[in-house]
Amino acid sequence: MAALSPQKRTWRIAHSEASLGWGGQEHRILAEIKGFHSRGSEVWLIAPMSSQIYQRATQAGLPVLAQRFDQRYLLPFHILKLAWWLHRQRIEIVNPHSSRDGWLLTIAARIARVPLIIRSRHFDVPIPNKSLSRLIYKEWTHHILTTSPKITSSLTSTFDLDPGEITTLPTGVDLERFKPEGPKADFSAYAKSPPMPLIGMVTVIRAAKGIQILAEAVHLLKTQHGIGVHCIIAGEGPAREYVEAVVSQFSIGNQFTFLGHREDIPEIMRTLDIIAIPSFHEAIPQSGLQALAMGVPVVASDVGGIPSIIKHGETGRLVPPHDAPALAAAIRETLEQKLQTQEMCRAGQQFVVNHCSLSAMLDRLDAIYRQHLVGC
């Protein structure tokens, strides 16, 4: 019998996530699970039953294992129970994504002798107790995945990693879903006379996402330049009440619409004139890649992994974080310098097609699996 071609190799993978919320990290995990599931692999999600990612995976008909990650679940009984499950399911690859699930799954995977232990890191934030964390990121893990070059650089220097031990892999964009052509959301209820440009954010509403800086920039555009814009905020989060209070303080409540959580993100983005990402820290924002794929202009903070996709003057405009006047100026330039903006949009689309598609992400992951599991 002829040997299977490399493209026919499938895997038995378990991802874990301790977070109860829904954001870019959880979106990335579910994209990996769905992607490899569609390619014929057996892929499980290990997560708390009350978490949004567990509920979404269940609704999608994906295999799930309910698991809490409270500190008491690091006791030997729970570790051994999870190790037995990994052994029974013949898991070849485990990939924890957060701190709490990272410890439990990594220890259990070592006990179960799982061939490949991968650790994903999604945010460039300080790592507490570096000597202890070295076990997770160096000694007990075969490979590390990050979502931005800055995270890769930070981990490499912190744990003295070799280049072959770590890979930068941004979340891939579904180019069929996030394409310029298609239906648009109906925002006619917010239309003004004359119509205002629409500035959008697709985000979890946290203070670090910088919506309050956008509010100040909108105020400056109105008071100093006579430019009116309307902001569409798609998402929910713990800082919504605070952000709405800031908007109210600037007396621009009629220029902001908070949509809450939405699933029709492509339809929303097609209506926008600009996507704003005024974050204080960020890996590689999926809304940025999605906007580039759809040809929507992007104005973003020059922080974290953002400059690796939003190259100033090439695929979008960058401004210093916390700088409302600079953000206002960049929005004004984007609206007024139409030819330059269109050129940036074209370059951004090509960049995503060449480097950041969902299919390309899955192919690179598959190559990493093959690299470590030759002959398995």
pLDDT tens digit string along 236-253?
Answer: 999 999 999 999 999 999
> What's the pLDDT at 4?
37
Mean pLDDT value across residues 283-297: 95
User: Measured between alpha carbons, how far is 258 from 233 in angstroms, rounded to an integer?
Assistant: 5
Please state the separation of Cα 81 from the chain's center in Å. 31
- Residue 319: what pLDDT? 98
pLDDT of residue 5: 39
9-172+357-372 with 188-355: one CATH topology?
yes
Neighbours of 23 (CB within 10 A): 17
Closest by Cα among 270, 195, 272 to 233: 272
What count of other Cβ atoms lies within 10 Å of the Cβ of residue 202? 24
pLDDT of res. 6: 46
pLDDT at 193: 63
Mean pLDDT of the chain: 93
Record: fold of 188-355: Rossmann fold (3.40.50)
pLDDT of 2 > 50? The answer is no
Domain ranges of the chain: 9-172+357-372, 188-355
Q: Which of 89-93, 129-133, 187-191, 275-279 bottoms out in mean pLDDT, i.e. has the lowest? A: 187-191
Picking from 167, 159, 168, 163, the residue whose alpha carbon sits closest to that of residue 140 is 159
pLDDT of residue 283: 83
Whole-number Å distance between alpha carbons of 333 and 195: 18
What interhelical angle do 52-59 and 24-38 show, nearest 10?
Answer: 30
Region 290-296 average pLDDT: 97
C-beta separation of 137 from 128 below 8 A:
no
Mean pLDDT for 181-191 is 88
Cβ distance 140 to 117 under 8 Å? yes
Q: Which CATH number fits domain 9-172+357-372: 3.40.50.2000, 3.30.565.10, 3.30.1300.10, 3.30.70.100?
A: 3.40.50.2000
Least confident span in 8-12, 117-121, 163-167 = 8-12
- Examine the pLDDT at 39 and tell me if it is beyond 60: yes
The dihedral sign for the CA sequence 291, 295, 296, 298: positive
Q: Which tokens in the block code for residue 52?
A: 């949004």
Mean pLDDT of 201-219: 96
Over residues 299-313, mean pLDDT: 95
Q: At residue 141, does pLDDT exceed 50?
A: yes
**So what's the pLDDT on residue 46?**
98
Gyration radius of the chain's alpha carbons: 22
Instruction: State yes or no: pLDDT of 1 exceeds 60.
Output: no
Asked whether residue 259 carries a pLDDT value surpassing 60, the answer given is yes
Residue 24, pLDDT score: 85
pLDDT, one tens digit per residue, over 76-130 is: 888 999 999 999 999 999 999 998 899 999 999 999 999 999 999 998 788 888 8
What is the model's pLDDT at position 7?
52
